[in-house]
Amino acid sequence: MEEAGRIDHLSGERQKAQFDLQPMRVLLAGGEHELDVAQRVAAIVARDPVFSKANRTRLSREELYKNSLRKASHGWKLIQQLKLTEEEAFKLRSLVDEPTFTDLHWGMFVPAIKGQATDEQQKYWLPLAYKMAVIGCYAQTELGHGSNVQGLETTATFDPATDEFVMNSPNLTSTKWWPGGLGKASTHALVYARLITDNHDYGIHAFIVQIRSLDDHKPLPGVTVADIGVKFGNAGYNTMDNGLLRFDQVRIPRNNMLMKLAKVTKEGKYISSDVPKQLAYGAMVYVRQSIVSDASVYLSRAVTIAVRYSCVRRQFGGQGNDPETQVIDYKTQQHRLFPLLATTYAYRIVGQWLKWLYSDVMNRLESYDFSTLPEVHACTSGLKSLTTSVAADGIEECRKLCGGHGYLCSSGLPELYAAYVPACTYEGDNVVLLLQVARFLLKTLSQLGGGVKPVGTASYLGNLPVLTKQGSRVSQGTDWLDHSNLLYAFEARAARLALVAAQLVQKAGNEAGFEQHSIELIEAARAHCELMVLSKFVERLQRGVPGRGVQRQLDILCEVYGLFLLVSRAGDFLSTGCLTPTQVALAKQQLQNLYTEVRPNAVALVDAFGHTDHYLGSILGRYDGDVYPNLYKDAWEEPLNKTVVTDGYEEYIRPILKQEFLPSRKARL
């Protein structure tokens, strides 16, 4: 965002914009109110020296971690003192921009209690959690098992003599491994363990286990807990204390089992509750929808940096006194960058739709309407997988788009990537999630014969006879600007890939067939997810967007999103017979025409994300484009430059230069 008193090296770019910034900002923020909250909180965070990000990548792990504790504590103090609302507090934590234990406390521990605890248990735990009198983490994954939750080995054995569960880690692979906030900060863990009562194993259930003293923070008897060590990249996710946890016969009260869906009586009897299991589902939808929103935010940061820097950076061209060419004017740069810009907008819109979906699911769950749950599950799993994978790859592409300087930590991109890329793994490995989507597609197809009508994002499958036979109407390039043609091509591709995969699985026979054809299944699932994003983008545009030129820009971005995917996945469209080679060639040409329309608006389109320089943490992405003097200045902050002659010269460099290692005659072989 603009900061007073600086020369704006990008002002020429900003003047070229063909739309009004403010309504675009409102749209991206999700409304006037949301924009107001975001701007107010961003200003608080940006001006507070405790939240400074300078030098973060130069700190040791211990310093880095302690600094993240300081920020979390300061943030909590501000939330209390400024009496911030829940929405403002959430915003503040995300704008501080440092993965820390509070992410898991608020993002996993609290929602899991809401989803799985009885009303009475919620009355006890939630007030403690809300005031942070306890700090919670989410301890599901173990050394031996992550994706396969049913394979977890930690046990919770009920002892009727004392009315307690005994938590135990029977072997090395049952060690809890990865939970964020567990290593050093949490006092409590929401532990997933095998429930054993009456000599019967009832499978995986959730328990709240106190792991550290509330007085001196020491681990309680029988608890072994520690940090699992340094992770990928400088800073990045290393501000988080991902931990390991072992139990040696640790006793917890029976009532620490979360009992909304099943309970164990004093006598040790296991009783499934009459509350439908699906009710616990809301928490997962909530978590996944916030991950999808984050995907757009993280990608928008990388794209902002790459677009601004591509306007500043000049290479080649320029005759006489003319300046060299801005690298953003190279077609290849545009072909790598503008689709990512369009994807960011597409994900922002699908994220807003998922927010609506979450409230719709919660309303339905309240009235015990579970009819849309399978579709919602497929939709949130698939979108989590697609958006996080594309955002992570997109951040790395933006780093390359910034050439050599993108490799400097001061570009902000290496750290952004390191902090973001685990989103492809946590909350469900992205491949495993796509396989779940594929299962849903197979089931939907198998039910078509029985007259079950697919709903929501799968409803296009109800049109299978047309989609599998009728080709595209596109006969000239501009036909691709008709969104219904784009949508039809994507629906036909998704339907045909799903049908082909289903036929292969059926031919091979059930479960073995599923495994054997998992590559085809993943392709079908991905096509389904890409269609979801495109169709939500198109639906949003059909409702109309106010503001001078805003709708036009969004139309262009929607077309870039669709056509880029179409061109990059041409193999799918051609092999399934959805499109002819001529139609694909027309799409490619049209896509390039669209880049020309994006170009003058590129800087304004990233300004609309409204990221402060503090949040971007990037010299290359500075709002004012004043890159070179600041890169030069930053080099002098490097601790190695504190001395002119480096430490180590005397011991290691000088002896080489002075030929001191030459062997004596005697020592020669």
Ligand X SMILES: Cc1cc2nc3c(=O)[nH]c(=O)nc-3n(C[C@H](O)[C@H](O)[C@H](O)COP(=O)(O)OP(=O)(O)OC[C@H]3O[C@@H](n4cnc5c(N)ncnc54)[C@H](O)[C@@H]3O)c2cc1C
Q: Indicate which single residue of 67, 94, 100, 141 sits in contact with ligand X (rule: CB under 6 A).
A: 141
Angle at 615 between CA 614 and CA 617, to 5 degrees: 65
Q: Which stretch binds ligand X (CB under 6 A): 172-180, 396-404, 489-497, 635-643?
A: 172-180
Number of residues that bind ligand X (CB under 6 A): 21
Interface with ligand X includes 136 (CB under 6 A)?
no
Distance separating alpha carbons of residues 251 and 168, to the nearest angstrom: 9
Interface with ligand X includes 429 (CB under 6 A)?
yes
Task: Report in angstroms how near the CB of residue 249 gets to ligand X at its nearest.
Answer: 22
Task: Report in angstroms how near the CB of residue 186 gets to ligand X at its nearest.
Answer: 10
Beta strands across the sheet bearing 176-177: 176-177, 243-247, 223-227
E strand or H helix at 351: helix 331-366
Task: Report in angstroms how near the CB of residue 430 gets to ligand X at its nearest.
Answer: 7
Tokens 């999630």 correspond to 433
Task: Report in angstroms how near the CB of residue 582 gets to ligand X at its nearest.
Answer: 37
Give me the catalytic one of 13, 396, 415, 427: 427
Q: Indicate which single residue of 23, 136, 180, 412 sits in contact with ligand X (rule: CB under 6 A).
A: 180
Task: Report in angstroms how near the CB of residue 68 gets to ligand X at its nearest.
Answer: 14
138 or 358, CB closer to ligand X? 138
Distance separating alpha carbons of residues 417 and 394, to the nearest angstrom: 9
Tokens 């990249």 correspond to 233
DSSP symbols for 48-88: -GGG--TTGGGS-HHHHHHHHHHHHHHHHHHHHHTT--HHH
CB atoms within 10 A of CB 468: 16
Distance separating alpha carbons of residues 498 and 515, to the nearest angstrom: 15
Q: Indicate which single residue of 139, 474, 505, 608 sits in contact with ligand X (rule: CB under 6 A).
A: 139
Q: Which stretch binds ligand X (CB under 6 A): 76-84, 156-164, 174-182, 215-223?
A: 174-182
637 is catalytic: no
Interface with ligand X includes 432 (CB under 6 A)?
yes
Judge whether 444 is annotated as a binding position: no
Residues 6 or more apart from 545 whose CB is under 8 A from it? 23, 27, 551, 554
CB atoms within 10 A of CB 322: 8
Q: In the structure encoding, which two tokens stand for residue 578, read together?
A: 């959805």
Do 19 and 601 contact (CB within 8 A), yes or no?
Answer: yes
CB atoms within 10 A of CB 355: 15
34 or 429, CB closer to ligand X? 429
User: What residues from 366 to 425 belong to the interface with ligand X (CB under 6 A)?
Assistant: 422, 425
Q: Indicate which single residue of 178, 207, 281, 615 sits in contact with ligand X (rule: CB under 6 A).
A: 178
Q: Is 648 left (phi over 0), alpha (psi -120 to 50) or beta?
A: left
Q: How far is CA 233 from the centre of its chain?
A: 17
140 or 576, CB closer to ligand X? 140
Residues 6 or more apart from 163 whose CB is under 8 A from it? 253, 254, 266
Do 375 and 458 contact (CB within 8 A), yes or no?
Answer: yes
Q: Indicate which single residue of 11, 52, 147, 646 sits in contact with ligand X (rule: CB under 6 A).
A: 147
Q: Indicate which single residue of 51, 106, 109, 138 sits in contact with ligand X (rule: CB under 6 A).
A: 138
Judge whether 180 is annotated as a binding position: yes
136 or 339, CB closer to ligand X? 136
287 or 303, CB closer to ligand X? 287
298 or 426, CB closer to ligand X? 426
User: What residues from 228 to 267 belong to the interface with ligand X (CB under 6 A)?
Assistant: 237, 242
Q: Would you tell me which residues interact with ligand X (CB under 6 A)?
A: 104, 138-141, 145-147, 178-180, 237, 242, 422, 425-426, 428-429, 431-432, 435
User: Among all residues, which ones are annotated catalytic?
Assistant: 427
Q: Which residues are annotated as a binding site for FAD?
A: 141, 180
